[in-house]
């Protein structure tokens, strides 16, 4: 029997959730027994090689590329999981949501107190993805099957959730694993 | 602030004994004098009352009828509830905007006139209506709106705009209002003309415990809608430890579509005050407060006069009716435009000179209410019922209506019916019977109990109006077949978002999320999964909010999902590709494309 495949990605996130995933330590050996990794920063596969059982998405959508990747994930994954607060709610990047886009760019590249930009140029290369008007949590862009809260969700949380899904057992997330205060 | 204004503010504070708990009266008086409550007046009030500016500011910013920014000398408040919208208030608003040359929310350049929208002012039976300062103008037409603006521009006092007086006491010089009572059906309890006027005297001949026993035997339940047994509430208050107990009458009927207290206050003020004194005797209180909603300020002078007459006759004050040791008097506390203050603990906060925030329970008001004293808060109608029960006996009352809901109920019926107005009917009347009575047999939906109640359709028209089936504080709104159910629901959600005090996150945020998802469905961007989402979130808001507002605010959505499911089902479409139909990439990229002056190469954005 071929192993189910897992894909992961970080959109507008900080890779903290991926770090947390690596925090499962030696359990990663068990994980590779359970699954193969497809498109993921873990193995540096850039494009999907086929259909995946589970997709883990870190970060929300801040630009058009994020949306593109997320839609690609939806098209390739049976189960899509929002991993962490940015994917679930927008998180820190969404703090810009109450500020008009132009103002954000001005502060970031021109008027901010720590900005050094003698030419006063706002980067605008055609290769740079266009920003969205605001940061969207993943479920506002595509259908998301599960949300794992946390900044980041702990390694144990991710482990329990993944293993339960892959072995078709009920997910047991005790209070300690989803309590964040 | 110049010295004379300073003097004025100081004397207003002094007239309330520089008492911080009278904040509502003080800021209302300052607003009346200066037209608004400017920052330096707040500073001055704070120092006079020995408190902090934030205490004053939190009150001024909370209530819709108070303002920290200059307003027009005359403020026109157009009633923007669903019934008034159906009656064309939006068209009337256009006329006002055009005649005044300002938008809603603005003030004319000369500072004379402001134009605003306000939630239900209790005139749904004579919509479209507006308040001009304190003066209600009803059954507005475009011509009438033009006439009003002309009159105001010529410097006429709002009161002078009333040419034709309403019926009954509306024509009393102290009321001088064009409001019509529209009492279309008189029952045996409230609007009956057969009365011996001796309920209070009879009660004073009994012991307080006997009075409460009689109320309990009549099985009287609170008329505000929740239906708590009145006798039990009085018993708790009587048994609670504490001096100077308080009886508060909740005359803050803000539930859209409710206007029955308006008629009781106009036509049965004596009966109400008699009931409050009777309750005072039963629970052992010496203080009575009538909390009158700001929208009914036009009744205040009249009510003050009724109180004065009762004092003169010895029916209030020291040794009421000659009963040695029973001292009881009533003051009127004006509200300032806040729906939430109809909730009893928020109402108590407001009486104490605070923002109208609900309080935690326990302690219940019966234990620690107004200023920490044992307090009973009852509806206007409840007090009136109590008098009749003592007059005619518990058995007489208990035989009216149904077993679980004895007596009659005042219903204020509005919307698409032939006879909008007030109907006093025995509890247990079916929706169908009521609709027949009001001339609306062919309708699509009826909202029973206001936005916080239930929206029911024809298949539920044989249900009964009583506490154990369709409970209502009095509001009945009728919608004909041309009305769009979801538009009604959407409007009600707007109302709750606006009126939430903001304390509980589930209510402050949850209602916004509910409304957003509803809007997606209405725009044809909804999926079938959105419906269970609405139910889940609605139930969370209900469970996790601490006061009645949050506990009922999802009702428009939940009850329409239950009773008008097909309307939702027709609008939602499954998204088979897993994409959210509500996400619009072109709209999300529009600003960015404008700023970058290039088109997206990833998506086609037209």
Query: Do strands A61-63 and A131-136 pair parallel, antiparallel, or not at all (unpaired)?
Result: antiparallel
In a 13 Å sphere around the CA of B162, the CA atoms on its Cβ side amount to: 24
pLDDT-based confidence at residue A60 (cuts at 50, 70, 90): very high
Contact B595 A101 (CB under 8 A): yes
Check residue A171 and give its pLDDT.
83
Mean pLDDT in residue range A31-38:
91
pLDDT-based confidence at residue B576 (cuts at 50, 70, 90): confident
Question: Is the same domain home to B393 and B248?
Answer: yes
Question: Is the same domain home to B137 and B23?
Answer: no
> Residue B357: which CATH number?
3.40.50.11540
Q: How far apart are the first and last CA of chain A?
A: 42
Q: Evaluate whether residue B576 is within a structural domain.
A: no
Final residue of a domain: which of B367, B398, B429?
B398
Q: Minimal CA–CA distance to A70: which of A155, A7, A147?
A: A7
| CA B141 – CA B99 distance, rounded (Å) | 14
A174 Cβ neighbours under 8 A, 6+ residues apart:
none
Q: Evaluate whether residue B227 is within a structural domain.
A: yes
Alpha-carbon distances of B432 from B68, B80, B343, B345, B370, rounded to whole Å:
48, 28, 30, 35, 42
Three-state secondary structure along chain A? CCCCEEEEEECECCCHHHHHHHCCCCHHHHHHHHCEECCECCCCECCCCCCEEEEEEECEEEEHHHHHHHHHHHHHEEEEEEECHHHHHCCHHHHHHHCCHHHHHHHHHHHCCCCCCCCCCCCCCCCCCCEEEEEECHHHCECCCEEECCCCCCHHHHHHHHHHHHCCCCCCCCHHHHCCC
| CA B548 – CA B546 distance, rounded (Å) | 7
| CA B501 – CA B348 distance, rounded (Å) | 15
> Residue B122: which CATH number?
3.40.30.10
Tens digits of residue pLDDT in B291-333:
999 999 999 999 999 999 999 999 999 999 999 999 999 999 9
B164 Cβ neighbours under 8 A, 6+ residues apart:
B178
Check residue B28 and give its pLDDT.
95
Contact B587 A139 (CB under 8 A): no
Name the DSSP class of B554: T
Check residue B431 and give its pLDDT.
96
Helices (DSSP H) in B154-229: which residue ranges?
A: 199-204, 208-217
Check residue B1 and give its pLDDT.
65
Q: How far apart are the first and last CA of chain B?
A: 58
Check residue B2 and give its pLDDT.
79
Contact A64 B602 (CB under 8 A): yes
Final residue of a domain: which of B341, B368, B398?
B398
Question: Is the same domain home to B222 and B289?
Answer: yes
**Length in residues, chain B:** 606
Helix axes B230-239 and B380-392, enclosed angle (nearest 10) = 90
Mean pLDDT in residue range B325-343:
95
| 8 A C-beta contact, residue B414 and residue B123 | no
Q: Evaluate whether residue B379 is within a structural domain.
A: yes
| CA B199 – CA B205 distance, rounded (Å) | 10
Q: Which residues of chain A lie closer than 8 angstroms to B582, CB-CB?
A: 140
| 8 A C-beta contact, residue B366 and residue B237 | yes
Q: Evaluate whether residue B503 is within a structural domain.
A: yes
Which tokens sit at B131?
Answer: 């308040």
Q: Minimal CA–CA distance to B252: which of B473, B478, B16, B500?
A: B473
Mean pLDDT in residue range A96-107:
96
Chain A residue whose CA is closest to B520? A140
Please determine, for residue A179, whether its predicted confidence score (pLDDT) is greater than 90. no
- Structural domains of chain A, ranges and CATH numbers in brackets: 5-95+130-178 (3.40.50.700)
Average pLDDT, chain B: 94
Tens digits of residue pLDDT in B54-66:
999 999 999 999 9
Structural element, H or E, at residue B101: none
Nearest by CB to residue B588, choosing from A68, A126, A133, is A133
Question: Is the same domain home to B459 and B505?
Answer: no
- Considering its fold, how many domains does chain B have in total? 5
Question: Is the same domain home to B356 and B444?
Answer: no
Question: Is the same domain home to B422 and B443?
Answer: yes
The whole domain housing B501 covers: 485-571
What is the torsional sign of CA B536, B541, B543, B549?
A: negative
Nearest by CB to residue B602, choosing from A68, A141, A143, is A68
| CA B231 – CA B222 distance, rounded (Å) | 9
Give strand pairing partners of B479: B445
What is the torsional sign of CA A125, A130, A135, A136?
A: negative
Tens digits of residue pLDDT in B473-527:
999 999 999 999 999 999 999 999 999 999 999 999 999 999 999 999 999 999 9
Question: Is the same domain home to B216 and B255?
Answer: yes
Check residue A136 and give its pLDDT.
98
Q: Evaluate whether residue B176 is within a structural domain.
A: no
| CA B593 – CA A128 distance, rounded (Å) | 12
Q: Evaluate whether residue B567 is within a structural domain.
A: yes
Question: Is the same domain home to B98 and B148?
Answer: yes
Q: Which residues of chain B lie closer than 8 angstroms to A74, CB-CB?
A: 577-579
| Residue B40: other Cβ atoms inside 10 A | 12
Mean pLDDT in residue range B68-74:
91
Nearest by CB to residue A105, choosing from B575, B577, B595, is B595
* pTM tops 0.90: no
| 8 A C-beta contact, residue B189 and residue B384 | yes
Q: Evaluate whether residue B244 is within a structural domain.
A: yes
Query: Do strands B285-292 and B329-334 pair parallel, antiparallel, or not at all (unpaired)?
Result: parallel
Q: Minimal CA–CA distance to B447: which of B416, B479, B481, B412?
A: B479
Please determine, for residue A42, whether its predicted confidence score (pLDDT) is greater than 70. yes
Tens digits of residue pLDDT in B145-172:
999 999 999 988 998 888 899 999 999 9
| CA A139 – CA B583 distance, rounded (Å) | 10
Contact B598 A126 (CB under 8 A): yes
| 8 A C-beta contact, residue B502 and residue B508 | yes
Check residue B606 and give its pLDDT.
67
Rg (CA), chain A: 18
| 8 A C-beta contact, residue A80 and residue A144 | yes
Mean pLDDT in residue range B390-404:
96
| CA B429 – CA B434 distance, rounded (Å) | 7
Mean pLDDT in residue range B279-289:
97
Contact A133 B577 (CB under 8 A): no
Residue of A130, A131, A137, A145 best to disrupt the B interface, most CBs of B under 10 A: A130
Mean pLDDT in residue range B388-403:
96
Tens digits of residue pLDDT in B8-38:
999 999 999 999 999 999 999 999 998 899 9
B592 interface with A at CB cutoff 8 Å:
yes
Query: Do strands B130-132 and B135-137 pair parallel, antiparallel, or not at all (unpaired)?
Result: antiparallel
Winning range, highest mean pLDDT, from A72-76, A173-177, B67-71 = A72-76
Q: Which residues of chain A lie closer than 8 angstroms to B583, CB-CB?
A: 136, 140-142
Q: How far is B209 from chain A (nearest CA, A)?
A: 51
Check residue B4 and give its pLDDT.
86
Q: Evaluate whether residue B159 is within a structural domain.
A: yes
Please determine, for residue A1, whether its predicted confidence score (pLDDT) is greater than 70. no
| CA B330 – CA B374 distance, rounded (Å) | 16
Q: How far is B449 from chain A (nearest CA, A)?
A: 35
| CA A60 – CA B260 distance, rounded (Å) | 51
Nearest by CB to residue B580, choosing from A75, A131, A141, is A141
Q: How far is A30 from chain B (nearest CA, A)?
A: 31
Question: Is the same domain home to B469 and B390?
Answer: no
Q: What SS3 state is found at B193?
A: coil
Chain A residue whose CA is closest to B577? A75
Tens digits of residue pLDDT in A136-150:
999 999 999 999 999
Question: Is the same domain home to B433 and B567?
Answer: no
Final residue of a domain: which of B398, B426, B459?
B398
Give the neighbor-by-neighbor strand order of the sheet with B135-137. Answer: B113-118, B74-79, B130-132, B135-137
Q: Minimal CA–CA distance to B78: which of B94, B67, B63?
A: B94
* A179 CB-contact burial (10 Å; exposed 0-12 / middle 13-18 / buried 19+): exposed
Which tokens sit at A112?
Answer: 């901010």
Question: Is the same domain home to B289 and B191?
Answer: yes
Question: Is the same domain home to B251 and B387?
Answer: yes
């Amino acid at each position: 029997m071929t192993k189910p495949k897992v894909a992961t990605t970080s959109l507008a996130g900080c890779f903290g959730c991926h770090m947390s995933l690596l925090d499962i330590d030696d359990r990663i050996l068990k994980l590779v027994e359970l699954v193969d990794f497809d498109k993921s920063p873990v193995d540096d596969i850039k494009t999907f090689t086929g259909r995946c059982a589970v997709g883990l998405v870190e970060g929300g959508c801040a630009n058009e590329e994020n949306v593109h990747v997320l839609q690609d994930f939806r098209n390739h994954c049976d189960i899509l999981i929002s991993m962490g607060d940015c994917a679930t709610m927008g998180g820190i990047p969404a703090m810009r949501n109450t500020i008009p886009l132009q103002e954000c760019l001005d502060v970031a590249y021109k008027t901010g107190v720590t900005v050094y930009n003698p030419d006063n140029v706002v980067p605008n290369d055609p290769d740079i993805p266009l920003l969205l008007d605001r940061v969207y949590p993943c479920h506002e862009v595509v259908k998301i099957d599960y949300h794992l809260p946390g900044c980041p969700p702990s390694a144990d949380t991710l482990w329990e959730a993944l293993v339960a899904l892959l072995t078709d057992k009920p997910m047991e997330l005790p209070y300690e694993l989803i309590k964040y205060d | 602030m110049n010295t004379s204004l300073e003097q004025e503010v100081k004397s207003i504070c002094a007239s309330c004994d520089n008492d911080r708990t009278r904040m509502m009266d003080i800021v209302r008086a300052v607003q009346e004098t200066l037209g608004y409550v400017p920052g330096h007046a707040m500073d001055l009030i704070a120092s006079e009352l020995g408190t902090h500016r934030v205490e004053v500011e939190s009150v001024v910013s909370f209530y819709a009828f108070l303002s920290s920014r200059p307003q027009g000398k005359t403020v026109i408040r157009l009633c923007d509830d669903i019934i008034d919208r159906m009656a064309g208030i939006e068209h009337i608003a256009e006329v006002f905007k055009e005649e005044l040359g300002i938008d809603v929310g603005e003030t004319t350049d000369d500072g004379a006139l402001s134009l605003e929208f306000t939630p239900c002012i209790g005139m749904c039976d004579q919509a479209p209506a507006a308040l001009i300062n304190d003066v209600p103008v009803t059954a507005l037409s475009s011509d009438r709106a033009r006439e009003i603006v002309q009159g105001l521009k010529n410097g006429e006092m709002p009161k002078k705009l009333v040419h034709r007086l309403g019926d009954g006491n509306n024509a009393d010089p102290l009321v001088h209002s064009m409001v019509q009572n529209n009492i279309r059906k008189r029952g045996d309890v409230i609007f009956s003309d057969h009365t011996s006027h001796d309920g209070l005297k009879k009660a004073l001949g009994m012991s307080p415990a006997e009075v409460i026993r009689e109320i309990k035997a009549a099985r009287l339940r609170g008329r505000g809608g929740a239906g708590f047994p009145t006798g039990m509430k009085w018993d708790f208050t009587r048994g609670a430890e504490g001096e100077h107990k308080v009886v508060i009458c909740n005359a803050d009927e803000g539930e859209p579509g409710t206007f029955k207290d308006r008629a009781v206050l106009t036509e049965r003020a004596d009966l109400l005050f008699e009931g409050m004194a009777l309750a005072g005797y039963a629970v052992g209180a010496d203080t009575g407060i009538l909390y009158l909603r700001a929208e009914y300020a036009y009744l205040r002078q009249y009510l003050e006069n009724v109180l004065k007459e009762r004092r003169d006759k010895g029916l209030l004050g020291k040794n009421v009716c000659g009963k040695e040791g029973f001292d009881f008097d009533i003051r009127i506390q004006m509200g300032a435009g806040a729906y939430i203050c109809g909730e009893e603990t928020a109402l108590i906060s407001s009486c104490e000179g605070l923002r109208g925030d609900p309080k935690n329970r326990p302690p219940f008001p019966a234990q620690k209410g107004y200023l920490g004293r044992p307090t009973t808060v009852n509806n206007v109608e409840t007090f009136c019922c109590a008098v009749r029960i003592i007059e005619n006996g518990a058995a007489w009352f208990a035989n009216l209506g149904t077993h679980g809901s004895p007596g009659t109920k005042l219903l204020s019926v509005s919307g698409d019916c032939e006879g909008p107005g007030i109907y006093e009917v025995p509890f247990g009347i079916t929706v169908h019977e009521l609709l027949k009575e009001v001339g609306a047999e062919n309708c699509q939906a009826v909202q029973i109990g206001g936005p916080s109640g239930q929206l029911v359709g024809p298949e539920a028209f044989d249900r009964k109006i009583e506490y154990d089936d369709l409970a209502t504080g009095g509001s009945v709104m009728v919608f004909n077949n041309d009305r769009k159910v979801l538009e009604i629901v959407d409007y009600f959600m707007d109302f709750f978002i606006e009126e939430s005090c903001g304390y509980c996150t589930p209510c402050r945020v949850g209602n916004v999320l509910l409304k957003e998802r509803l809007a997606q469905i209405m725009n044809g961007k909804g999926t079938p999964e959105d419906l269970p989402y609405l139910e889940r979130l609605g139930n969370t808001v209900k469970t996790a909010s601490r006061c009645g507002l949050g506990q009922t605010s999802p009702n428009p959505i939940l009850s329409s999902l239950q009773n008008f499911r097909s309307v939702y089902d027709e609008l939602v479409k499954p998204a088979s590709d897993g994409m959210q139909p509500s996400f619009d990439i072109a709209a999300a990229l529009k600003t960015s494309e404008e700023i970058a002056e290039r088109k997206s190469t990833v998506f086609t954005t037209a």
